[in-house]
Amino acid sequence: MLKDLGDGFRGFWRERHLSTLTTVRADGTPHVVPVGVTLDADSGVARVITSGGSHKVRHVLAAGDEGAAVALCQVDGRRWSTLEGRATIRRDAESVADAERRYEERYRRPRENPARVVIEIRVTRVLGNV
């Protein structure tokens, strides 16, 4: 799905921008926080590294095995893109190291965090103007 969106889309998601991640609280209200995100357009997977005890992680875990419905949004002036999908948590060392490497390529080397996990989002819908 993401493979067909073109070089402008891919380039926009490689530029150094922060995004917002929206998860849903138990009471149904949105929880929106700024995050650094990486996107593998070939596989349709976005990744956010974070601490395992964060609210966003707890919201994803509360959704159960099917994964949590989430949205990532990135804005730069009139250009914007939203990625919607299902999120799961990855805790294994290989997944965390891979996500840290991707983060460093887009942003900078992440600070040390022994409690780090990966929020992995399988993108199911793309919106935007890029």
Q: Which domains does the chain have, with CATH numbers?
A: 2-125 (2.30.110.10)
- Which residue spans within the chain are E strands per DSSP? 19-24, 30-35, 38-40, 45-51, 68-76, 79-90, 116-129
Predicted structure pTM score: 0.95
Nearest to 23 by CA among 74, 73, 78: 73
Q: 35, 117 in Cβ contact below 8 A?
A: no
Residue 107, class by beta-carbon neighbours within 10 Å (0-12 exposed, 13-18 middle, 19+ buried)? middle
Question: Closest by alpha carbon to 2, among 110, 83, 59, 68?
Answer: 83
Once rounded to an integer, what is the mean pLDDT over residues 41-56? Answer: 96
Residue range 90-129, pLDDT digits in tens: 999 999 999 999 999 999 999 999 999 999 999 999 999 9
Mean pLDDT, rounded, for 40-45: 94
Q: Which sign, positive or negative, has the C-alpha torsion 21, 25, 27, 28?
A: positive
